[in-house]
Amino acid sequence: MRRILVWIASLALATGVAYAQGELEIFSWWAGDEGPALEALIDLFEQQNPGIEVINATVTGGSGVNARAVLKTRMLGGDPPDSFQVHAGQELIGTWVAAQRMEDITFLFEEEGFFDAFPPGLVDLISTEEGTWSVPVNIHRSNVMWYVPAKLEEWGVEAPATWDDFLAICPTLQAAGVTPIVVGENWTQQHLWESVALAVLGTDDYAALWTGELSFTDPKATAVWDTFGQILDCSNEDAAGLSWQQATDRVVNGTAAFNVMGDWAAGYMVTTLGLEPGTGFAWQASPGTSGTFMMLADAFGLPEGIANRDAAVAWLRLLGSKEGQDTFNPLKGSISARLDSDLDMYNAYSRSAAADWQNDAIVGSLVHGAVAKEAFMSEFATVMEIFLASRSGEQAANAAQAIANQVGLGR
């Protein structure tokens, strides 16, 4: 290894080209079952950058619930990782960009042609008037309902087009000893909530919640909690102790009929469980949301004051490239964020998501950082606790509006 490093260093001197070297710490929550896509990308990076050793630092916990807290400590303590996973949109911009802890990477977008490679709406999501702040590695869809076709046939039900249809088959499934819809820990319940909100409010009013144009206490918005409560009455009682993978397992093994989860569930079912899309599992837009794609994107940026800036820039270059994205996404369940992705490399689920991404109306996910400042999305866990404890839509709505006012949601 040392000999290779010396060789690269002398090559760099001879050619005048700066090759990045040393260690590169990548920080994310893609641990264990969530790891294969990132690991494939790191392997590719190490092949292309033999002088760099990647430290794959992970903090387990779906949707970054634990990683975000560790990241905060490190950022505030002056010990930023060289690059970290963050959701494209307000999660990064409202926190670390606002706190001037990120470097503007407009230069990289220009050098690599990323401004033309990504859809304009996505470039807007990761940019402010002051600059461009992250490289999106994928597009995930939040509003997806998963099920196993053979099981539905066995129980004599169909995948519900609306939540009313779901509530109508709930007693049939319960009578068969099946959980109609499985949910897991708090954030997965918020995840279900955002899909229910989209169904109840429709695309425009859902979007208006995040700009502040529609108040959480408006009767239209409180109606979301009513429907949500009825759906939870058809769910499992041990939700708090389940990870999203364990919730997915219940659909796969037939103890639950449906779950609503982002399409990392497709990555898990294909890459980890070895199931075939279409037969091993099937999908549809979550009830009442067909024609709308609720998106989120994982992204990485360039923190200020890091140990190895050259290596981090090389990492971001690969992340945004066609090859990088088409290595990562077929394993992850997401689609490439680029316009020129090679769809032959993707399975039937991902190809259907890619078609919907082209044709559907687009809105952003709350739980996964696209539409609201981190301060609001973190506190939404408390709103959910309030609802679960009180089952009062009014109390939950008041709490949500109070937090929105406090953090200046939409401003």
**Given the rule CB under 6 A, which of 19-27, 60-68, 92-100, 169-177 is the region that contacts ligand GAL?**
60-68
* Distance separating alpha carbons of residues 65 and 79, to the nearest angstrom: 20
| Cβ-based nearer residue to ligand GAL, 123 or 261 | 261
Q: Six-digit token pair at 243?
A: 């990870």
Rounded to whole angstroms, the Cα distance separating 138 from 342 reads 13
Token pair of 120 as six digits:
């304009």
Torsion sign (Cα): 13, 15, 18, 20: negative
Site for ligand GAL in 253-282 (CB under 6 A): 262, 264
- According to the binding rule CB under 6 A, does residue 80 interact with ligand GAL? no
Instruction: Rank residues 65 and 223 by Cβ distance to ligand GAL and give the closer one.
Output: 65
Interface residue with ligand GAL among 140, 250, 317, 373 (CB under 6 A) is 140
Q: Does 34 bind ligand GAL (CB under 6 A)?
A: yes
Q: Strand pairing partners for 144?
A: 285
Answer for which of 250, 317, 368, 373 binds ligand GAL (CB under 6 A) is: 368
Please tell me the count of residues contacting ligand GAL according to CB under 6 A.
14
Say which amino acid occupies 55. I
Least Å from the CB of residue 39 to ligand GAL: 14
Question: By CB under 6 A, is residue 296 in contact with ligand GAL?
Answer: yes
The least distance separating ligand GAL from the CB of residue 187, rounded to whole angstroms, comes to 8
> How many CB atoms neighbour CB 387 within 10 A?
23
Written as one letter, the residue type at 60 is T
Interface region with ligand GAL, contact rule CB under 6 A, candidates 26-34, 43-51, 318-326, 347-355: 26-34
Q: How far is the CB of 242 from ligand GAL (least distance, A)?
A: 13
Instruction: Please pick, from the candidates 91, 298, 326, 374, the single residue that binds ligand GAL as defined by CB under 6 A.
Output: 298
Residue pair 167/266 in contact (Cβ under 8 Å)? The answer is: no
CB 325, CB 138: distance < 8 Å: yes
Stretch that binds ligand GAL, among 9-17, 57-65, 154-162, 195-203 (CB under 6 A): 57-65
Nearest residue to 349 via CA among 294, 281, 403: 281
Q: Is 317 in the site for ligand GAL (CB under 6 A)?
A: no
For residues 308 and 20, is the Cβ–Cβ distance under 8 A?
yes
CB nearer to ligand GAL: pick between 60 and 290: 60
**Taking CB positions, which residue lies at the least distance from ligand GAL?**
62
| C-beta neighbour count of 255 within 10 angstroms | 14
Q: Which is nearer to ligand GAL, 49 or 329 (CB)?
A: 329
**Least Å distance between CB 84 and ligand GAL?**
13
Single out the residue of 119, 33, 29, 31 nearest to residue 65, CA to CA. Answer: 29
Nearest Cα residue to 304 out of 50, 32, 75, 129: 75
Nearer to ligand GAL, 66 or 230 (CB): 66
Residue 163 or 187 with smaller CB distance to ligand GAL: 187
Cα gap 292→311, rounded to integer Å: 38
Coil, strand or helix at 400: helix
Q: Report the SS3 class of residue 348.
A: helix
Residue among 29 and 163 whose Cβ is closer to ligand GAL: 29
Residues at the contact surface with ligand GAL, assessed by CB under 6 A: 29-30, 34, 62-64, 87, 140, 244, 262, 264, 296, 298, 368
